[in-house]
Copies of this chain bind each other. A is one copy, B any other.
Amino acid sequence: MARLIPVADPADPRLADYTRLRDVNLRKSLEAEHGLFMAEGEKVIRRAIATGHPVRSVLAAHRWVEPLSDVLGDAPVYVVDDAVAEAVTGFPVHRGALASMERLPLPSVGTLLPGVRRILVLEDLVDHGNVGAIFRCAAALGVEAVVLSPRCADPLYRRSVKVSMGAVFAVPYARMTDWHGGLAELRAAGFTLLALTPDQSATPIGKAPLGERVALMLGAEGDGLSSRWLREADEPVCIPMSGDAMDLGVDSLNVVAAAAIACHELMRPGVL
């Protein structure tokens, strides 16, 4: 049985986990300090719970509690009206319950790799929505794990979780501790490192050498992969662009579209 606790004061300290959800800097420090993250909506909360994340608490209007009551255990459920929810979080919470969940310890890169043959490596992506969308692609298409550079945006940030539709819980990931040496560890584990680049002189992704273990490297929005990582790759690969498009100045895909195509190619039939 969920423990329903009506709360009428937005300043109630029990609601502190839900403070100002649109304030990125505040949220980063608050979530790091308390080891928590936010899950929004029934579907995503269910997936977070199903993948073993303990519920710290739930914040919800009364109408959103019942659909979740079978999975909340004895976590406190702070029942608020819409005005209180908005006063605490800083935005109108229409779409359902919010849950404050405990983060699980991340595996190291070394413990992530055994048995895995197709991975993505994300270098310094800054946009949480893009990170979430790439996890969704990876999960849907069967990429088995994701490795993040030390500065890559957090997959458990609220917007990442939401855009991923919960795929951030489905695809195991780890964060490199060392940007300089991180790729060497992947190569030592037998991965061929493919660097995705808009450079049209690179090998088309459809013709890339796909060995037993492949790591596809994706760079930041705008800047792409760093020159150091490009140099360290085994092979630069590109998605062939239309010549007309380049004449028109539309010279690239966004990183999510590029990731989708690349994941699809990595998993093409006959290769695995």
Contacts and interface: CB of A to CB of B under 8 A. Distances in A.
Interface of A: 43, 47, 50, 133, 136-137, 139-142, 165-167, 170, 204, 206, 239-245, 248-254, 256-261, 264, 267-269
Given A257-B257, A261-B261, A142 B244 contact: yes
B136 A253 contact: yes
A140 B261 contact: no
Given A136-B250, A140-B241, A206-B269, 4 more contacts: A47-B248, A140-B250, A141-B242, A142-B242
21 contacts: A43-B249, A47-B249, A133-B254, A136-B253, A136-B254, A137-B257, A139-B245, A140-B250, A140-B257, A142-B242, A142-B245, A165-B250, A166-B249, A167-B245, A170-B248, A170-B249, A170-B250, A240-B269, A253-B260, A256-B257, A257-B259
Contacts of A257: 133, 136-137, 140, 256-257, 259-260
Q: How many copies does the complex hold?
A: 2
A242 B140 contact: yes
Nearest to A242: B142
A133 B165 CA distance: 19
A108 to B, nearest CB: 22
A50 B259 CA distance: 30
Contact of A260 (B43, B166, B261): B261
A253 B140 contact: yes
A258 B257 CA distance: 8
Given A257-B137, A260-B260, A267 B242 contact: yes
Contacts of A50: 249
Contacts of A166: 249-250
Nearest to A137: B257
Contacts of A253: 136-137, 140-141, 260
A253 B134 CA distance: 10
Nearest to A258: B260
Contacts of A167: 245, 248, 250
B139 A242 contact: yes
* Most chain B CB inside 10 Å of its own CB: which residue of A47, A252, A264: A264
* Most chain B CB inside 10 Å of its own CB: which residue of A170, A242, A245, A250: A250
Nearest to A252: B140
